[in-house]
Amino acid sequence: MSIDLKTIKHISKLSRISVDEQKAEKLAGDLNSIFDFIEKLNELKTDNVEPLTSVAETTLKLRSDEVKSKNIREQIIKNSPQENEDYFVVPKVIE
Amino acid sequence: MSDITKQSLTELVENIKNKKLSSTDVTKAFIERSEKSKELNAYITEDFTSALDKAKKFDQKPNLDLKLPGIPMAVKDLFCTKDVKTTAGSKILNNFIPTYESTVTDNIWKEGAILLGKLNCDEFAMGSSNETSFFGNVQNPIDKDLVPGGSSGGSASAVAGQLTPITIGTDTGGSIRQPASFTGTVGLKPTYGSCSRYGIVAFASSLDQAGPMAQNVKDCALLQEVISNYDPKDSTSIDFKRNQYSKELTNNIKGKKIGIPKEYRVDGMPKEIEDLWQKGIQYVKDCGAETIDISLPHTSYALPTYYIVAPAEASSNLARYDGVKYGFRAKGENLIDMYEKTRSKGFGTEVQRRIMIGTYVLSSGYYDAYYLKAQKVRKLIKNDFDEAYKKVDAILTPSTPSSAFRIGEKTNDPVSMYLNDIFTVPVNLAGLPGISIPAGHDSKGYPLGLQIIGKAFDEQNILNIAFAMEEKINFKNKITDWWIK
């Protein structure tokens, strides 16, 4: 299997990470060597194996939906790269 | 006392309780040594002024019933600390100030400890050498230009270099045990669900665990006792009866059955590692334990499985870094362009590589072939351990396939870097506890570690085995203070 530049561009779109030509070529090389290594899993027959999604064999507990942290709006907004009073600011979305 | 920083945590606690030392004495000593140790680059954020204030406050009204009374401690910068910058070693979080405290650090402060600062680590804990940190690589106190291992490299360097009496790291595929092995220190990765993940910057949520890194096994047991609790704020935290690990610690391991897995004898493993393993086998026998040859047949599939599961979870966890709510933002022509440039400039190479792998294995058409396949193999790996634990109480292996390597030696070859975690990754995949203890030196004088893997929730047992072995090994770390001018 080989990951080509077109695939890299596609993954970069899905990941929301911009990639220029030079970086795409480097990534293609790296990913191909990593996937060569991963291909080893195909040696195993796993048709009748249950997938393991979590090692913690517990059922999720429910809790009441209560607000625990209060009056932290200002601190939270302060971490934003761009804010306007009580709002996060992003580049214009609607023309 | 001029040798404060040479004391173990247990000794410091005793000396503070007996009023031979004050918290201010101890805190000052570690701050002074940390300030002389900038070349190690172990810290990302120093919080020394505030630490000294807290120590003075502690001394005015000392509560000596606490487990860590007035003990200063630096922690890995992956734990959110309220009002103290938390970066995860990344540019994308380089100005993030959490509004909340992680449960694990909260447990530590509640027992009287004082934050010294935040320690360097690989970016988002993705790395085995601390070279992926946005804040630069960390020096190993063992030798100049030697990596301390990773991802908890700053933590390992700080404990080995005596910049902090003890610390905490996180371990997703070996990030506590491998750096412990590279720096001649003790590192415990607890059972999945033992320590809360609340407030730890997430990497791979089904694998991440916090754990102690210490100079000796007893210190490690004490800190584990403090940090492990059931926490409703972590949905995978497990409610089980936790031991008083340090109080129940014993070197009596007579009759314990210890498994030696033949699959850990990998191709190309240096003879020094094999010899060390044989010595370890002899030590546990000398302690009255019995060794039994076992098989973990799917061992060689653990790394390929890990490099699907961990990046897949990471790609999802790291989707939140979009330049909107916190952290770094790059300018973009529109919203999407802003996202793409922010993530391209804010994340380093290794993190981008793993997000890409994760996105690919989860993408339409590849999910079954990669992600589902990996989850199935993960089941087989866990079954191997379940089967082995019908016959043995614990498993003994080397911690790493080599001693610490030089800075820059493996940065251009991701796969060779990943191979470092060959003995530690299976433990995370199966959710088991594992401890690395220093067990000897190679011909270059660099430390080598042995790993003891336990049954789930059986931390006490592996701590006991480690404690018994530690006595026999009588390891002395060779720290020359080369970085102090």
Q: Is A40 exposed, middle or buried (0-12, 13-18, 19+ CB in 10 A)?
A: middle
On whether the CB atoms of residues B45 and B80 are closer than 8 A, the answer is no
Domains, chain B, in order of start with CATH, read: 4-238+245-263+274-296+387-473 (3.90.1300.10)
Is residue B151 flagged as an active site residue? yes
B400: Cα within 13 Å, side-chain hemisphere: 39
User: What does the pLDDT read at residue B239?
Assistant: 93
* Residue span of the structural domain in which A15 resides: 5-43
B87-99 per-residue burial string, b: 16 or more CB within 10 A, e: under 16: bbbbbbbbebbbe
Read off the pLDDT band of A1 (50, 70, 90). low
Structure-block tokens of residue B95: 């100005």
User: What does the pLDDT read at residue B240?
Assistant: 93
- Residues 6+ away with beta carbon under 8 Å from B390: none
Distance from CA of A8 to the nearest CA of B (A): 8
- Measured between beta carbons, the chain A residues lying within 8 angstroms of B239 are 58
On whether the CB atoms of residues B30 and B72 are closer than 8 A, the answer is yes
- Does residue A64 fall inside a structural domain? no
Number of structural domains found in chain A: 1
User: What does the pLDDT read at residue A69?
Assistant: 82
From chain B residues 29-48, the ones with a CB under 8 A of any chain A CB are none
The partner residue sitting opposite A41, judged by closest CB among B328, B329, B377, is B377
- Does residue A87 fall inside a structural domain? no
Is residue B19 flagged as an active site residue? no
Is residue B76 flagged as an active site residue? yes
User: What does the pLDDT read at residue B2?
Assistant: 53
Q: Is the pTM of this model over 0.95?
A: yes
- On whether any CB of chain A is under 8 Å from the CB of B445, the answer is no
Residue by residue, pLDDT tens for chain B (485 residues) are: 459 999 999 999 999 999 999 999 999 999 999 999 999 999 999 999 999 999 999 999 999 999 999 999 999 999 999 999 999 999 999 999 999 999 999 999 999 999 999 999 999 999 999 999 999 999 999 999 999 999 999 999 999 999 999 999 999 999 999 999 999 999 999 999 999 999 999 999 999 999 999 999 999 999 999 999 999 999 999 999 999 999 999 999 999 999 999 999 988 888 999 999 999 999 999 999 999 999 999 999 999 999 999 999 999 999 999 999 999 999 999 999 999 999 999 999 999 999 999 999 999 999 999 999 999 999 999 999 999 999 999 999 999 999 999 999 998 888 888 888 999 999 999 999 999 999 999 999 999 999 999 999 999 999 999 999 999 999 999 999 999 98
- Does residue A38 fall inside a structural domain? yes
- Does residue A79 fall inside a structural domain? no
Report d(CA A79, CA B6) in Å as an integer: 39
ipTM score for this prediction: 0.95
Tell me the CATH number at A38: 1.10.20
Per-state percent for chain A, helix, strand, coil, to nearest 5: 40, 5, 55
- Does residue A12 fall inside a structural domain? yes
How much is the average pLDDT of A41-61? 89
B2-16 per-residue burial string, b: 16 or more CB within 10 A, e: under 16: eebbebbbbbbbebb
